[in-house]
A and B are shown apart, each in its own frame.
Chain A
Amino acid sequence: MKRRDALKNIGLSAGLIVATPSVISLLNSCTADSNNWGPIFLKKEQTKVLMSLVDVILPKTDTPSANEVNVVEFLDKYYKEILDDNRQQWLRETYASLLKLIKSNYSDTINDLTEDNYKDLLDNNMILNGESNDISELLKNIKSDAIWAYKISEFVGENVLAYDPIPGVAYCGDLQELTGGKSWSL
């Protein structure tokens, strides 16, 4: 089953807000289906690191993880097709620096890195307040880009966030009654 068709069908059957365990397992199978996917901008090791990072940033809970909605596939294509030459060059260089830092701090073999290693990487190198540097900027970009890609994925847009394609009316109402406290996806 094609991922988009599967997700459309989930959208019809799973209700508005909560992804059920069966939905998650279907998502997993779809992700497995897309194993043939290969990056068009990132290198293989960089892709692996990005996949690990986005699932630490947005892990699987009662809603899908970042990888379950193919955030990395989306971002790799976005880097290649949307960003200008300068930005692409900066990304190439800074991803290379990040890989170098990871190898020197944790392991030469990217496959050996643990979830805790990635948490440690973010704890020590993503600077939220204070003087930043290229590595921190890249990590903050990965965080914000992953959040963006996650929220505009079809599954999250239609099933996790509150989806209202044709409101038909306009008024200011109670947040809980309208969306159960969630943001609108559109």
Chain B
Amino acid sequence: MTDQQYDAIVIGTGITGGWAAKELCENGLKTLVLERGRMIEHIKDYHTANLDPWDMPNGGRITPKIKERKFKQHRTGYVTSPVCEHFFVDDIKHPYNEVRRFDWIRGYHVGGKSLVWGRQSYRLSEIDFEANKKDGTAVDWPIRYKDIAPWYSHVEKYIGVSGENLGLPQLPDSEFLKPLPLNCAEEDFRVSVAKNMNDRVVTPARVAHITEGTKPGLGRSTCQYRNRCMRGCPYGAYFSSNSSTLPAADATGNMTLRPHSIVHKIIYDEKTKSASEVEVIDGETKQKHTFKAKIIFLCASTVPSTSILMQSTSKRFPNGLGNDSGELGHNIMDHHLSVAASAKIENYKEKYDKGRRPGGIYIPRFRNIGGDSDSKDFIRGYGYQGGAWRNSMSEVVAELKYGPELKEEILKPGGWRIGVTGFGETLPDHNNKMYLDYNKLDEWGLPTVTFDADFGDNELAMRKDMKDQAVKMFKAAGYKDVVGYDSVDSRAMGLGIHEMGTARMGHDPKTSVLNKYNQIHACKNVFVTDGSFMTSSACQNPSLTYMAFTARAANYAAEQFKNGNL
């Protein structure tokens, strides 16, 4: 059956779908927002948000049943916790295939991963946008920092990002709310790095949390320092689609939100040379629908969006919508991580943290930004995230077997430790890819995704420096028990949950899928604004960049629509 005609359709309700919906609706476009999963209402559906460990069966430990049903999601070790596992998919119901291991971590519901994201928010810099061209990797980004800078500001002012401006060329300043405070051990480390290392700085994590005042949306207010963000925040203190952008879109009266709507195909009209409608299977009834619109925003997150384009074959696009270049599904990237160090800090035994902050410290990239920072072993760079904490109980506990003294000691906090973990840039590589398997269909008769990707030589060379430099910083600070590690053998793409790059932007339709406004080169009324557009990965957490590009593309689309060009 064919349903109503809309000005725009947004596919997906996560961090980019929410932004596309808000900007299009606020520009007056009648917009249908399609979400493949169930409805999640802000606050009402955060049923674990106020539970203490003793309120949950078995103290909230992960049950064998969750591990069995969500065996790939469980590779993270944390998303399957009963406090948040309902925001992640069942791997048996939603299977995928791996030629090489790929940890594909997903949430199918209104809000998507915006409900559970890490909230770290860093701008890409001119260094990042120039990198591919300068070192001859893949293709050049079709935009530069100046093109996106105003949109970063637009997004940051709306969502609320806390942090500290440093004036660094490799990590541009943002529109910040006051930073999260460092604790005394982190402050000690910051002073030590400033004194002992002339090439890098320690700064509070830049996170999408309201640290002062309020922000627009459903009663968004200041962080209460409970650090239960992954359960959904009853204060709306961190940014999510559910608390912020979707309510804004709804308030215009222009949005129709339709959960349980699995988009599998965008129909290309040979006459108008543009996309005319989308095909949907109702996730519950399995009934088929089509919806028509002038503009389509594909915001289903990297792999699903690419999968929808691949399924959208036509006479004009036999290899998938917009795939004239043959690059669709290729160049998949993620950040490489799990290389880290930690150390013991012997001072500050009389100090303790009040409040549970939703972020710790960040060390911006300091490699390959010119001069002495350049490495002969690898190109690009990495940043560190981390923090310091007191152990949950006294170290004396390990030396006692029983009795009143043991009981006293288990109630006292232990000493301080500090840890940082690297987030490294991954180069785009045509050989890293995803594709569809039509022999293995899912419950809705749709093809499943197969991954074939891994990190390359540049990433592996970078990891050695990531570990060495972390150890060096802690030793220079005089910390004890310094332990560096690199779990390179258990590495897999996807674990960073920053999968990106499978429908890249570029100048040339022969080598890229999207143009500089996130439009498909040869089908300009389809915009792809989730992580699939990324031409390179940089080393910064990418969600802020996805939001800025989405806002820019949506406003461009609305302008073109009003001018009659779309």
Contact = CB atoms under 8 A, between A and B. Distances in A.
Contacts of B390: 183
Contacts of A46: none
Interface residues of A, number: 51
B401 A57 contact: yes
A67 interface: no
A171 interface: yes
A183 B393 contact: yes
Interface stretch (A20-28, A105-113, A142-150): A142-150
Interface string B393-417: 1000111011110111011110000
Interface string B471-495: 0000000000000000000000000
Interface in B337-363: 349-357
B59 A126 contact: no
Given A59-B403, A154-B54, A167-B356, A147 B410 contact: yes
B326 interface: no
Interface stretch (A32-40, A76-84, A95-103): A76-84
Nearest to B211: A170
B354 A167 contact: yes
A77 B61 CA distance: 12
Given A128-B398, A128-B399, A175 B352 contact: yes
A186 B413 CA distance: 12
Contacts of A168: 224-225, 355
Given A82-B58, A160-B411, A147 B393 contact: yes
A142 B308 CA distance: 52
Contacts of A169: 225, 354-355
B57 interface: yes
Interface string A9-27: 0000000000000000000
Interface stretch (B2-10, B150-158, B179-187, B421-429): B179-187
A170 B353 contact: yes
Nearest to B228: A186
B352 A173 contact: yes
Contacts of B225: 167-170
A74 B355 CA distance: 29
A61 to B, nearest CB: 5
B407 A78 contact: no
Nearest to A150: B410
B58 A61 contact: no
A168 B356 CA distance: 9
A166 interface: yes
A167 B401 contact: no
B410 A172 contact: no
Contacts of B406: 57-58
A183 B354 contact: no
A152 B398 contact: no
A53 to B, nearest CB: 8
B52 interface: yes
Interface string B163-190: 0000000000000000011111001000
Most chain B CB atoms below 10 A, which of A74, A148, A171, A181: A171
B342 to A, nearest CB: 19
Nearest to B65: A81
Nearest to B349: A175
B373 interface: no
Q: Which of B183, B354, B357 has the most CB of A within 10 A?
A: B354
B560 interface: no
B184 to A, nearest CB: 4
B352 A148 contact: no
A43 interface: no
B58 A78 contact: yes
A171 B181 contact: yes
B404 A170 contact: no
Contacts of B404: 59, 61
A174 B59 CA distance: 29
A61 B411 CA distance: 13
Nearest to B61: A82
A170 B119 CA distance: 18
B412 A143 contact: no
A131 interface: no
Contacts of A48: none
A56 B407 CA distance: 10
Contacts of A160: 411
B64 interface: yes
B226 interface: yes
Nearest to B352: A175
A151 B350 contact: no
Nearest to A69: B54
Nearest to B348: A172
Contacts of A78: 58-59, 61
18 contacts: A56-B402, A58-B402, A61-B404, A63-B407, A63-B411, A77-B58, A82-B58, A82-B61, A151-B410, A161-B411, A165-B226, A166-B226, A168-B225, A170-B353, A172-B182, A174-B352, A183-B412, A184-B352
Interface of A: 56-59, 61, 63, 74, 77-78, 81-82, 84, 119, 122-123, 126, 128, 143, 147-154, 157-158, 160-161, 164-176, 178-179, 181-186
Q: Which 3 A-B pairs have the closest CB atoms?
A: A170-B355, A167-B355, A154-B54
